[in-house]
């Protein structure tokens, strides 16, 4: 079951967000992420959080339409997103897409990225933002990138050291390379052959991919 979690981040382009959705998605709103669901004309299956940032009238409307509320006390050790991820797994998710996880508060943006990277989740967890899709690899791991030539791929170390980094099908190759935390060597690579791939042996690596159409759109702004 593919699960989409709407997070309470800043969203400027709902048309782009809508392109990540599929009709049979299981929809979870992390507290104030309810506003994104409403903006897209959708009803969530579950609302999770302490509801401190969700519009009470909107929540009531969703409940009347059949949404379930998993309410938590304000004094909690996990963010609404982390609780939503746990609920998604409990309900049988085999793939999780986060929408609205970036933008807005810098602390929440960084926290959301680190939640994805905090452990090896039992299912793929990805963050979609505009035309970009972010993955966290925890070695040993391999990501296949099925995007057309000209699409952008960036890798950023998320652990002190990432070893055994090997690219296939990218314009600027790496073979059994090591990148250290803070390195920008892996930023702004480009797909040459489809499918491309990124493989690592040890460490944690953030991989961000952006389709050719999205790259062209950003370059023309």
Show pLDDT as tens, one digit a residue, over the chain (221 residues): 999 999 998 898 999 999 999 999 999 999 999 999 999 999 999 999 999 999 999 999 999 999 999 999 988 888 899 999 999 999 999 999 999 998 767 887 888 888 888 888 999 999 999 889 999 999 999 999 999 999 999 999 999 999 999 999 999 999 999 999 999 999 999 999 999 999 999 999 999 999 876 544 544 44
Q: Which two tokens stand for residue 118?
A: 């905090």
Separation CA 95–CA 97 (nearest Å): 7
Strand-strand pairing, 2-6 and 26-30 = parallel
pTM above 0.95, yes or no: no
H runs (alpha helix) in 99-210: 106-117
């Amino acid at each position: 079951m593919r699960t989409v979690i709407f997070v309470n981040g800043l969203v400027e382009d709902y048309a782009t967000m809508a392109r990540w959705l599929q009709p049979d998605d299981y929809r979870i709103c992390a507290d104030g992420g309810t506003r994104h669901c409403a903006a897209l004309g959708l009803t969530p299956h579950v609302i999770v959080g302490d509801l401190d940032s969700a519009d009470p009238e909107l929540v009531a409307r969703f409940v009347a339409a059949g949404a379930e509320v998993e309410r938590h006390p304000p004094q909690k050790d996990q963010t609404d997103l982390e609780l939503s991820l746990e609920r998604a797994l409990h309900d049988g998710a085999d793939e999780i897409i986060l929408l609205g996880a970036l933008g807005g508060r810098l602390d929440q943006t960084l926290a959301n990225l680190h939640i994805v990277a905090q452990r090896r989740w039992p299912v793929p967890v990805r963050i979609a933002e505009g035309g970009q899709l972010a993955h966290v690899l925890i070695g040993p791991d391999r990501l296949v990138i099925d995007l057309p030539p000209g699409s952008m791929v960036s890798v950023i170390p998320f652990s002190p050291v990432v070893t055994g980094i090997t690219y296939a099908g990218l314009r600027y190759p790496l073979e059994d390379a090591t990148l250290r935390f803070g390195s920008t060597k892996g930023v702004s690579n480009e797909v040459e052959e489809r499918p491309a791939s990124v493989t690592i042996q040890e460490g944690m690596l953030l991989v961000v991919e952006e389709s050719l159409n999205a790259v062209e759109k950003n370059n023309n702004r």
